[in-house]
Chain A
Amino acid sequence: MAIIEKLSTNLYYLVAIILFIIGFHTMLTHNNLIKKIMGMNIMDTSLFLFFVSIGYRRGGIAPIIKEGIVEYVNPVPSALILTGIVISLSFTAFALGLVILLYKHYGTLDADKIIAMRSREIG
């Protein structure tokens, strides 16, 4: 029971870690280049969730001081993650650009097939 209680209070962290592992796994094991990029995005999103939930307080509001409110959310992680999202976006855009070029050159999105085509040419 203690474990379940611990998990339920740290639910955001748990979900973030699960998403991180899903993203990590997709990125490394899938052959499809688009799926690799999706994995990258899932991983980044999990990190954003993790970061934002560090600053989150249940029932807290944005830190604009008002009367009668005692609970505020820490704004620093949210502000940082705004930058993180921009970085993740530019990585995704760049990766997709590279995938378009790879498809033009090889006619496939399968990483294994690309490697096979390359090694056939060398050998």
Chain B
Amino acid sequence: MVHAPVLIVVTLLLAAFIVPLLYRKLPVAQVVFLLGIVISSIFSIRMAFLVLREGTLTYYLGGWLPPYGIEVVADAFGAYASLVLALISLPISYFVVFAPKEVNTPARYMALILLLMAAMQGMVLAGDLFNLFVFIEICSLSAIAIIAVKGTRDSIEASFRYLVLSALGSGGILFAIALIFMITGHLNMGYVRESLAVTASLYPLNILTALAFIFVGFSVKAAIFPLHVWLPEAHSNAPTASSALLSGLVVKAYLVAFIRIMYMVIGTELFVALPLRPILLILAACAMLVGSTFAIVQNNIKRMLAYSTVAQMGYIVLGLGLFSQRALEGSILHILNHAITKSLLFLAAGVIIKQTGTNRLSDLKGMGRKMPFTFAAFTVGSLSMVGIPGFAGFVSKLYLALGALDIGQIIFAALILVSSLLNATYYFPIVVNAFFGQTEATHQGSDPRKSVMAPLAVFALAVVFMGLFPSVVMPLVRQAAGLLQP
């Protein structure tokens, strides 16, 4: 039995328990923190290779076989999501350690990040509904905590609002799990699915109610339009590294869990038979347009990025709604591409705010000449968000558009184009004004030291690399999309 799937989570959890104990010796705590993230990432990468070569890995905790024991399932999709989480978390945790401190209790902050990573890794690998729920709750709590840890009034208010809505979402998910358990008597996803093949037609009301609750619950957590209301406040008031983690990874981890429930528990046949796809398509279209429109009118750089996340989540949901092979590939690839790009943008925005002391977009005119490297990184992120060829965002948008055309949905291909234009209208003015604004810069500021710039450079290179060589991850993406297809 390969132990990698469970070791990913265990390493992170172990580090999460050790780090807060070392609060008096901060350098040691930082080493443990980085070690935890690096070791679990190594396991995650190793697991991705194993899954690619040998297919789905399953792990039985304590050697107890299902349906009694707890199962961890690393299929192509789970392994891919775990790989994305691991790769994105590496530069962000480097930033947490080396960037200027934004929180008063760095050891606790690092512990919360480790806990969050453990919960997300557990969530994308869980093979059991109740375990999934427990990881969702840990993830919610630690995600809220890494916002509140900043300690400002706004961040606490935002995190309270997030907590209330998140609790509603959790309630919905638990209710749905209860309804599914009621008619199947199992919690293991594989067994539930087998049982549902028979019982779903006997108790259609149960399964419909459960689906509705799952859908609403995960919509709140993954900020799918129109239940995204908590996101802009929460993501823009968090510390820089938290914003990058929340926007880049957390909302996606929930979406991955949702997709896994859809094909591992509900089953793709049922998913296609029910009118879920039109709903997803409409919500995605609204998210793409409304998110971008709200982003245009923002003057706070982080709020703008947060609204852009709402729009970009729309792309991922759109691929799920279209449900053709290439659209799903685009959707799954966009999970990675958006995670890289948005982490880059949030880190760059955090550095800009830290160095200039302002978060207003109107104050950034001419600042590009003062801090060229930071704004260069921001520009790379913007180009990728808009979908310029040669950058990561282009590839996934292309796949989505081709996927829409494959099933004759020209209107959604056009929608992707329109939404990209909208993206351009709020990303490009920042870049153009920063570098070519005629007015003299009104604020002081310079590029930060090299160790702070390193994660930005890594993400910027990754954006270009994914734009030029998407074929590196495509085998895994293709397998993952194949799993979702009936």
Contact = CB atoms under 8 A, between A and B. Distances in A.
A102 interface: yes
A65 to B, nearest CB: 17
A51 B178 contact: yes
Contacts of B174: 47, 51, 84
B249 to A, nearest CB: 21
Interface in B126-160: 130, 134, 137, 141, 144-145, 148, 151, 153-154, 156-157, 159-160
A105 B175 CA distance: 35
Contacts of B148: 98, 101
B167 A91 contact: yes
A94 B141 contact: yes
A44 B166 CA distance: 13
Nearest to A43: B171
A119 B448 CA distance: 34
B137 A87 contact: yes
A90 B163 CA distance: 12
A11 to B, nearest CB: 16
Interface size class of A (residues with CB under 8 A): 20 to 34
Nearest to B138: A87
Interface string A92-106: 001100110110011
A54 B137 contact: no
Contacts of B137: 87, 91
B160 A98 contact: yes
A40 B167 contact: yes
Contact of B181 (A23, A27, A77): A77
B208 interface: no
A32 B174 CA distance: 25
Contacts of B134: 83, 87
A118 B178 CA distance: 40
Residue of B145, B163, B167, B187 with most chain A CB atoms under a 10 A cut-off: B167
Contacts of B144: 94
B171 A47 contact: yes
B164 interface: yes
B175 A36 contact: no
B145 A94 contact: yes
Given A20-B175, A33-B160, A98-B159, A80 B153 contact: no
Nearest to B136: A87
A24 B130 CA distance: 22
Nearest to B153: A105
B175 A98 contact: no
B398 interface: no
Contacts of A106: 153
A33 B141 CA distance: 18
A114 interface: yes
B168 interface: yes
B164 A80 contact: no
Given A80-B130, A94-B144, A47 B157 contact: no
Nearest to B168: A27
Q: Which of A28, A44, A76 is most buried by chain B, counting CB atoms within 10 A of its CB? A: A76
B182 interface: yes
Interface in A50-93: 50-51, 54, 76-77, 80, 83-84, 87, 90-91
Given A44-B171, A90-B141, A118 B157 contact: yes
B171 A54 contact: no
Contacts of B181: 51, 54, 76-77
Contact of A102 (B156, B164, B171): B156
Contact of A95 (B163, B168, B187): B163
Contacts of B159: 98
A94 B171 CA distance: 17
Contact of A99 (B145, B160, B167, B178): B160
A98 B156 CA distance: 7
Interface string B172-201: 001100100110000100000000000000
Nearest to A40: B167
A101 B178 CA distance: 35
Interface of A: 20, 23-24, 27-28, 33, 36, 40, 43-44, 47, 50-51, 54, 76-77, 80, 83-84, 87, 90-91, 94-95, 98-99, 101-102, 105-106, 114, 118
The list of the 4 closest CB pairs from A to B, nearest first, reads: A105-B153, A87-B137, A98-B160, A51-B178
23 contacts: A20-B175, A27-B167, A33-B160, A36-B164, A43-B171, A44-B167, A47-B174, A50-B178, A51-B174, A51-B181, A76-B181, A83-B134, A87-B134, A87-B170, A90-B141, A91-B163, A91-B170, A98-B156, A101-B148, A101-B156, A105-B153, A106-B153, A114-B157
Given A94-B163, A98-B160, 14 more contacts: A20-B171, A43-B167, A47-B174, A50-B175, A51-B174, A76-B181, A80-B187, A87-B137, A94-B141, A95-B163, A95-B167, A98-B156, A106-B153, A118-B157
